[in-house]
Copies of this chain bind each other. A is one copy, B any other.
Amino acid sequence: MKKEAEVLVADEIGGEVTTDASLIGRVRALYEAMAPAERRVADLILYFPGELHGYSASELAGLAKTSNAAVSRFVRRLGFGNFEEMRLLARQESENGSPVALMRQQGQAASAQPHDLARHVETVTNNLQKTVAGIDSLAWTALIEAAATAPRVWINGFRHGFHLAGYLKWSLAHVRGNVFLIPGPGETFGESLVDAHPGDLAVLFAMRRRVPATTRLAKTLREIGVRVAIVTDSGMTDTLGAEFVLRCQSRTRGATDDHASAFVLAHALIEGLIQHLGPDARKRFTAVDSRHDAMGEFG
């Protein structure tokens, strides 16, 4: 994080762009001044998943769905003499660790010492690693399969789990229909579940400090014949008779539990599902988004 003042800006117009910013810093700074086609390139770079260097200008053009010419102009606008210069900078940055590191080198001296945040993240990372290691890949695949084929998906969580459940519901609804968060506002479970049938899937977030309702819910679902997946802590002994058990490492050194693993699993489930469903999911996904757009909800 940086104070806003520190975000360096290049003087765009006037040709002489002398910025010492990182690559994405430059891109951000000049984003406003760009034409649509160039912005597509900018977007691509700003959210580039891999290492930018190692991609040719033409490849970038292809990925950004624009012409080589646009990429060329883009590079020039950024103040580089040619594409090669940009690639070189990208490479340098990637080898110096984060772009930020490079900025630091030129800007202020080192304030960066492993702080609490870094330590905390290390714990989280460890938990994640262990969580994944503990998940059987066949079972995971089976879960995705179930999420793809189940007529309906029911999702529940209380306390922390409530927000994870909400997140999963929201994301899942982008990929497939008939996804329900239960209980709905003001509903009891009984009312929520009238439409549940054998073969449906339920995902329950049941981490530490469970509420009794979760246990009862799991029991009811099983009686109906709904397949149950629970996301729980590594320590939990009672798996509520669930068919799928996703155990998350969640201990930290601090006072609160770390639920990042559960969050990541939820997200990974979505990704897995999209991959599994292929074009169908993508179609729905973009349909949802464009519906959003049509309603003018985004800027």
Interface residue ranges, A against B (CB under 8 Å): 1-4, 7, 24, 28-29, 31-32, 43, 46-51, 53-55, 87, 90-91, 94-95, 97-101, 111-118, 120-121, 123-125, 128-130, 132-141, 143-144, 159-160, 162-164, 166-167, 170-171, 174, 208-212, 214-215, 233-237, 239, 241-247, 250-256, 258-260, 263-264, 267-268, 270-272, 274-275, 281-282, 285, 289, 296-299
Q: Give A116's nearest chain B residue, CB to CB.
A: B272
Q: Is the CB of A111 within 8 A of B137?
A: yes
* CA A264 to CA B239, docked complex, whole Å: 26
A-B contact pairs, 26 of them (CB 8 A): A1-B140, A1-B246, A4-B242, A7-B245, A24-B235, A28-B237, A43-B235, A47-B235, A50-B253, A97-B133, A111-B138, A113-B137, A114-B137, A117-B132, A117-B268, A117-B272, A120-B264, A121-B129, A121-B268, A124-B267, A125-B125, A166-B166, A254-B271, A254-B275, A255-B271, A255-B285
> A139–B24 contact, CB under 8 A?
no
Q: Is B94 within 8 A of A3, CB to CB?
A: no
Complex copy number for this chain: 2
A32-B237, A235-B43, A268-B120 known; A299 vs B160 contact (CB < 8 Å): no
A130 CB to closest chain B CB (Å) equals 5
A94-B50 in contact (CB<8A)? yes
Identify which of B111, B125, B135, B210 contacts A128 (C-beta below 8 A). B125
List of B residues within 8 angstroms of A114 by Cβ:
137-138, 140-141
Residue of B nearest to A39 (CB): B237
Q: How far is the CA of A53 from the CA of B144 in the complex (A)?
A: 34
**A210:B299 contact, CB within 8 angstroms:** yes
Closest-CB distance, A109 to chain B (whole angstroms): 12
A128 CB, nearest partner CB in chain B, Å: 6
**Would A113 and B140 count as touching, CB distance under 8 A?**
yes
Q: Is the CB of B298 within 8 A of A212?
A: yes
Q: How far is the CB of A76 from chain B (nearest CB, A)?
A: 19
